[in-house]
């Protein structure tokens, strides 16, 4: 599984204060889940956040984000984020907050 370990470490640091977070190898990369719901991940070529369809437009409006096209087609509720954007603490924090809010809105697993 190819992904940028430095990006994974950024997310680990961001998520270390939240309970119920675990890592799981998925989608050819590494995903972070909270209480069983995917919130974000890293893969070869960047990172992604599961912000939910209700927050997708707002998340994509932040510079450095675009549609997640893992299968060649846009995947609703997920955004793709560039490496440069991931290095920006403020932008990464905004996407992460949306992803955590989305995960909290889902039924328990």
Residues 6+ apart with CB under 8 A from 10: 86, 87, 92
Going residue by residue through the chain, which has 109 residues, state the pLDDT in tens, using 9 for 90 and above: 588 899 999 999 999 999 999 999 987 899 999 999 999 999 887 899 999 999 999 999 999 999 987 777 778 899 999 989 999 999 999 999 999 999 999 998 8
- C-alpha to C-alpha distance for 95 and 93, rounded to whole angstroms: 6
Task: Name all domains of the chain by residue range, CATH numbers in brackets.
Answer: 5-105 (3.90.1150)
- Nearest alpha-carbon partner for 4 in 68, 86, 96: 86
pTM: 0.93
Query: Are 105 and 41 in contact, with CB atoms under 8 Å apart?
Result: no
């Amino acid at each position: 599984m190819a992904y940028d370990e430095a990006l994974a470490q950024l997310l680990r640091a961001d998520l270390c204060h939240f309970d119920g977070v675990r890592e799981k190898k998925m989608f050819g990369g590494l995903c972070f889940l909270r209480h069983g719901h995917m919130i974000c991940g890293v893969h070869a070529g960047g990172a992604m956040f599961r912000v939910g369809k209700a927050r997708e437009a707002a998340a994509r409006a932040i510079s450095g984000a675009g549609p997640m096209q893992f299968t060649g087609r846009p995947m609703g509720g997920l955004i793709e984020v560039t490496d440069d954007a991931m290095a920006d603490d403020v932008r990464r924090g905004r996407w992460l907050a949306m992803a955590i809010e989305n995960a909290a809105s889902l039924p328990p697993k």
